[in-house]
Amino acid sequence: MLDKNSLSQLQSLKQEIHDSVPRFEGKVRATGGRFGFVVTDDNQQFYMSPEEMEKVLPGDRVAFRVEEVDTKKTQAIIESLISTELSDFCGTYVIKGKGHFIQPDHQALNRWIFVPPKARQNAEEGMLVKAHLSQHPYPAGRAQAEIDTVIGSSQDAGIEARYMCQKWNLATEFSETELQQAHELAAAGIDALSTDRADLTELPLVTIDSASTRDLDDALCATVTDTGWTLHIAIADPAAVIQPGTPLDLMARDRATSAYFAHLVIPMLPAALSEQLCSLQPGVKRLALVAEVAVDQAGASTLTRLSQALVSSQAKLSYQQVGEFMADGSLGDIDAALQPSLDALKDCAQALASQRKNACLVMEDRPDYRLILDENGKVKDIVRQERNDAQRLVEECMLVCNRLCADWLQQHNSGIFIEHAGIRTERIGDVTTLLKEQLGLEKKPKIKSLEDYVSLMKQAAGGDDGLNIKQIISRQLERSNLTTEDKPHMGLGFPRYTTMTSPLRKYNDLLVHRMIAAILTEQPVPAVDAPLLSAIQDKQAKARVAANQTESWLKLQWLKTFPADAQFDAVIQYATANNIMVRFEDSGVEGQIDRRKVKGNWAFDSKTLSHSNGEQTLAIGQTVRVSVQTLEPDSRELKLALQP
């Protein structure tokens, strides 16, 4: 038996050994394989073996020690779980023998999760379910889940949108309290709210949107002046109706946006408001914020007045109707009394577009793809639709309104702005090298200011060397960001930008309306903090992803009806060292080519995002012929093979 002195020495030795082993805290990052990494706050990265990864989940924060595997390799050994992010998830129910599992629909969670008998909710093989984690895998490596909802079968009509709403936690129903408040507001009408508003009901305003749209949030008209045009842009004003802190307001803040699926719209506001009381339906008086803009012959614009007003749309016109009028002057069933304003709108929008092309940046036109669904909610055809002049007209009017309102808000030391920082930080080196080489510059350019960025992008767009530099750079841009700081929108080439033209569909636009109203009435401007903007942006991003994944799922189901040996024309959209992402020209279906499986000695150029083998180059914007290699609609996975 050891005496006290020996025990003390042994404990001291153990402590020295413990202290000599490097220890850290970090976040678990999964890979496509069974192994993973843990990344510390100062961005150190340590390998985690498959055995260690079995004990944790992606996003977990853990305490770990670092041990040597051999002289050239170390690995992280988990010592404790600090926190976990992953709670609920969706997936497919799988039965193997007596074992019941969920195969998670999660990009980083690549293991089946066991479901104990009492937590199965009578789910059947192949069903799509939503569940929550009832037992974390640490430390034993055995995760368990409990099913919350059996969503349905992948063959059910409309399952795709329902499933994605569950996966991304999108609310699909309004509560009784919210509906009651909406109906009470609609029943009360707007008479009491119309006091002290400018009466602009005589303006020949019209809405221009898709024929089926009912949540009409903007209306336009224009008149000719000696120097150009006066453009009126009326925007629906739900902020005048919905008071902050009420159930409707809190619900709209939580939803943050309307979500649009192929056969389903999930509105931010109940129909009693979004399609009735606040919608700029024709022939009825509505509350609006109206921007009066002076536009000269060269397309230069000035905000001459911003007012709370009462308006009345004269007609609900479709893009098709206005597009035909702009093409050949055909009025069709449009009231002839509206022709002078439509003529002026056409000329005014063309001047605005010309000025924006000269002074700012214009994004490339992308076609839309309309899904034609059968009685079971599955795609029977996909129709490619090019944007027409009417859509461009509305776009120019919305852009000038948002841009000038951003300037107005900045002058009043207020606002929510859409910041776009330009090229991603990690890509600046390759992009500036590309610009130097392709534009024949003496040295790599600096892209620190908006002026620098706009100038270089214009030079890139004007290049004619067979390499589409503008498209290459456009694939390497930051995402836009909501902020209360006055920062440029590099992507558009604007010194500042906001959005206030979709308050029926986006909560940040509704907040901007409240700010404008407060300034106009000389009231305190409501405060908006960074966490709120971050939450809004996160919810809007999830709604977009849900809609995009639903559309991809439906498209891939449709693609599966083609013969196995069918070939398609596809345009290269992006490339990494290993993969090439493409989009089918006729249908918008997106998939990827594993370049490592393409025969030949290929090399990847990180500057041009292209692959070359000395004889052939695969570059962004290029059309290639492809066939289907792997097609899994339920997991939205399409792998393609390049054809000669």
Burial zone of 363 (CB within 10 Å; 0-12 exposed, 13-18 middle, 19+ buried): exposed
pLDDT of residue 171: 95
- Give the global pTM: 0.91
The pLDDT tens digits for 224-268 are 999 999 999 999 999 999 999 999 999 999 999 999 998 889 999
Which residues in 237-357 belong to E strands, given as ranges? 259-260, 265-266, 285-296, 301-312, 315-318
C-alpha distances (whole Å) from 216 to each of 158, 277, 501 are: 26, 11, 10
Give the integer Cα–Cα distance in Å for 327 and 176.
48
Tokens of 293: 């803009």
Q: How many residues does the chain have?
A: 644
Confidence band of 118 (pLDDT split at 50, 70, 90): very high
pLDDT of residue 81: 95
Per-residue pLDDT, averaged over 351-361, amounts to 95
Per-residue pLDDT, averaged over 58-80, amounts to 89
Would you call 560 helix, strand, or coil by DSSP?
Answer: coil
Per-residue pLDDT, averaged over 528-538, amounts to 97
Per-residue pLDDT, averaged over 264-280, amounts to 97
* DSSP 8-state code for residue 218: E
Burial zone of 73 (CB within 10 Å; 0-12 exposed, 13-18 middle, 19+ buried): exposed
The pLDDT tens digits for 453-508 are 999 988 888 765 567 888 899 899 999 999 999 999 999 999 999 999 999 999 99
Per-residue pLDDT, averaged over 525-535, amounts to 96
Residue 5 clears pLDDT 70, i.e. is over it: no
pLDDT of residue 17: 47
pLDDT of residue 13: 52
pLDDT of residue 468: 83
Give the integer Cα–Cα distance in Å for 3 and 11.
12
Contact 616, 610 (CB under 8 A): no
Q: What percent of the chain has pLDDT over 70?
A: 96
Q: What percent of the chain has pLDDT over 90?
A: 83
Per-residue pLDDT, averaged over 6-26, amounts to 63
Q: Among 227, 145, 245, 199, which residue's Cα sits nearest to residue 526?
A: 245
Confidence band of 7 (pLDDT split at 50, 70, 90): low
The pLDDT tens digits for 52-66 are 999 999 999 999 999
Give the integer Cα–Cα distance in Å for 633 and 554.
7
Domains of the chain: 18-83 (2.40.50.140), 88-153 (2.40.50.640), 176-415+499-549 (no CATH), 562-642 (2.40.50.140)
- Which region, left, alpha or beta, applies to residue 351 given φ > 0 means left and ψ of -120 to 50 means alpha? alpha
Give the integer Cα–Cα distance in Å for 592 and 637.
9
Confidence band of 644 (pLDDT split at 50, 70, 90): confident
Range scoring the smallest mean pLDDT among 294-298, 355-359, 615-619: 615-619
Question: Which ranges constitute the DSSP H helices of 74-233?
Answer: 159-167, 176-188
pLDDT of residue 1: 53
Angle at 344 between CA 338 and CA 347, to 5 degrees: 140
Residue 615 clears pLDDT 90, i.e. is over it: no
Contact 15, 27 (CB under 8 A): no
CA 509 to chain centre: 16
Residue 31 clears pLDDT 90, i.e. is over it: no
Positive/negative CA dihedral, 184, 185, 187, 193 = positive
